[in-house]
């Protein structure tokens, strides 16, 4: 099985040859790969060298945390890669922006009102979590709609709090 694996700009061509062998950019490596049951903890012995990493899948990207460093890794087979290239990277159209709670917490203040115009970088909400107050800012210019929360409300992670639209 062949994969094209990218970390930032760098692309690696990998081919899984068998249980214990892998081709990395044409170089054949002996390996032993294992994983702790029910934990995102993986162990790789490659040519005798031992590495351990946490691996999480976040929105299609494999996050590999190893020796205190985080590597965002995209793993695709040739077909997926071709498909992605043909679509290209569609520029994010303006449309609507939905502000979602990045963490569970309590709304401390809502300095904006429904239908109010906001500028990029303007504070939309203040969310308190773990005793820290976090200012959630607008990533773009627009108008506030669908304001769903008020000060004192408890919110869940990923809950949509309000939207910013073009008109």
Contacts of 11 (CB under 8 A, 6+ apart): 4, 5
CA 19 to chain centre: 30
Beta strands 160-165 and 132-137 are unpaired
Structure tokens at 8: 């930032």
Instruction: Provide the minimum distance between the beta carbon of 150 and another protein in the complex, in angstroms, as a whole number.
Output: 16
* Sole binder of another protein in the list 48, 67, 113, 167 (CB under 8 A): 67
* Sole binder of another protein in the list 97, 104, 116, 137 (CB under 8 A): 104
Contacts of 81 (CB under 8 A, 6+ apart): 4
The contact pattern for another protein, residues 19-58, with x = CB under 8 A and - = no contact, is ---x-x----x-x-x-x--xxxxx-x-x----x-xxx-x-
Instruction: Provide the minimum distance between the beta carbon of 147 and another protein in the complex, in angstroms, as a whole number.
Output: 20
Instruction: Provide the minimum distance between the beta carbon of 160 and another protein in the complex, in angstroms, as a whole number.
Output: 17
């Amino acid at each position: 099985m062949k994969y094209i694996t990218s970390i930032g700009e760098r692309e690696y061509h990998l081919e899984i040859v068998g249980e214990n062998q892998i081709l990395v950019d044409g170089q054949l490596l002996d390996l032993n790969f294992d994983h702790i049951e029910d934990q995102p903890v993986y162990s790789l012995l490659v040519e005798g060298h031992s590495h351990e990493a946490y691996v999480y899948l976040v929105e299609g990207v494999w996050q590999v945390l190893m020796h205190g460093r985080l590597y965002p890794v995209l793993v695709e087979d040739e077909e997926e890669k071709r498909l992605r290239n043909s679509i290209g990277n569609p520029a994010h159209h303006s449309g609507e922006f939905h502000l979602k709670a990045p963490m569970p917490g309590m709304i401390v203040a809502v300095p904006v009102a429904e239908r109010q115009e906001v500028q990029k970088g303007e504070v939309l909400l203040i969310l308190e979590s773990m005793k820290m107050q976090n200012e959630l800012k607008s990533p773009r210019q627009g108008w506030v709609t669908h304001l769903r929360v008020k000060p004192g409300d408890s919110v869940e992670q990923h809950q949509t709090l309000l939207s910013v639209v073009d008109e």
